[in-house]
Amino acid sequence: MRVAFVGLGAMGLPMAKNLARAGFPLTVWNRTAATAASVVELGASAADTPANAAAAADVTLLCLPSSPEVHDILTRPDGVLAGAARGSIVIDCSTIDPQASRGFSALCAEHGVDFLEAPLSGGTIGATNGTLTLMIGGDAAVLERARPALQAVGKNLFHVGGPGAGQTVKLCNQMIFAAQVVAVSEAYTLLGDAGIDAALATEIFSVSTADCTAVRGRVPVAGVQPNAPASNNWKPGFATEWMAKDLHLVEELARSLTRFVPQAALNHQLMRLTMEAGYAKQDLSVLGEVLSSFKR
């Protein structure tokens, strides 16, 4: 199986490296060509256009920031669909609007190309370790054809329905994760003000009903968890700006379904506040530091 990877960002680069290490004939393309060098060192080839990358592949993976960028990479004159062979597969690992994803599926079908959406969970650590969770929307038979490539980048592969279903599950996942981070940020601000030892509180929470992903790895107090962003200058496993983007998509999804998501809307505003404070590129758990700077 020949594989192409388009979009070597914080998630895409380690994913592409794992495909190369797994031995797949791999062609990569990125807007900043120099980024591809570390994958080429592992045996990949670098293409000069997305079309040429896709032309060399049976399966082309995309990992891009937004719907407009996915549309551009697919449809530009030298884009993926200009090079992808009929019967090949495009897999979009971006987190985007479900309706847009359904549109990309239809667009690929017009060109005789199969399409899967496979948004990711696990952050940059999961991408590096090849332990990502993939929430896959599209035809189950197409997934089976693409499974070997996806298993090189992810540990947990879930087929959740047709086009749009994977994106919907991912956005709901983000709602829950953001709520955890906000709650943990607020709680540790109170703990600090009250003079409670943060490490002891974390030990208690980990065996109590407060236990969650944010408690296990994103306590916003330096030194409590050696691998947490707070102990590593807020190096992102998942950047604040990424969560702000995802929560915007959550609100758009809720609006399309005529549903009210007040907590997600508030959490979106808190992420925006954190970005305005200068922390767009830092891990979203830096919210804890931002909140600690406010007093009633």
Condensed to tens digits (0 to 9), the pLDDT of residues 179-237 reads 999 999 999 999 999 999 999 999 999 999 999 999 999 999 999 999 999 999 999 99
Q: Which residues pair with 27 in a beta bridge?
A: 4, 45
Q: How far is CA 161 from CA 89, 117, 118, 259, 287, in A?
A: 17, 10, 11, 21, 34
Catalytic residue among 17, 170, 235, 295: 170
Mean pLDDT of 46-61: 97
CATH of domain 3-161: 3.40.50.720
Class of domain 168-292: mainly alpha
165-184: per-residue pLDDT in tens? Answer: 999 999 999 999 999 999 99
Q: At what angle do helices 98-110 and 67-75 cross, to 10 degrees?
A: 10
Q: Active site includes 155?
A: no
What's the rounded Cα separation, in Å, for the pair 17 and 69? 22
- The domain locations on the chain are 3-161, 168-292
Helix (H) or strand (E) holding 5: strand 3-6
Diameter of the chain measured on Cα atoms: 64
Question: pLDDT at position 295, please?
Answer: 74
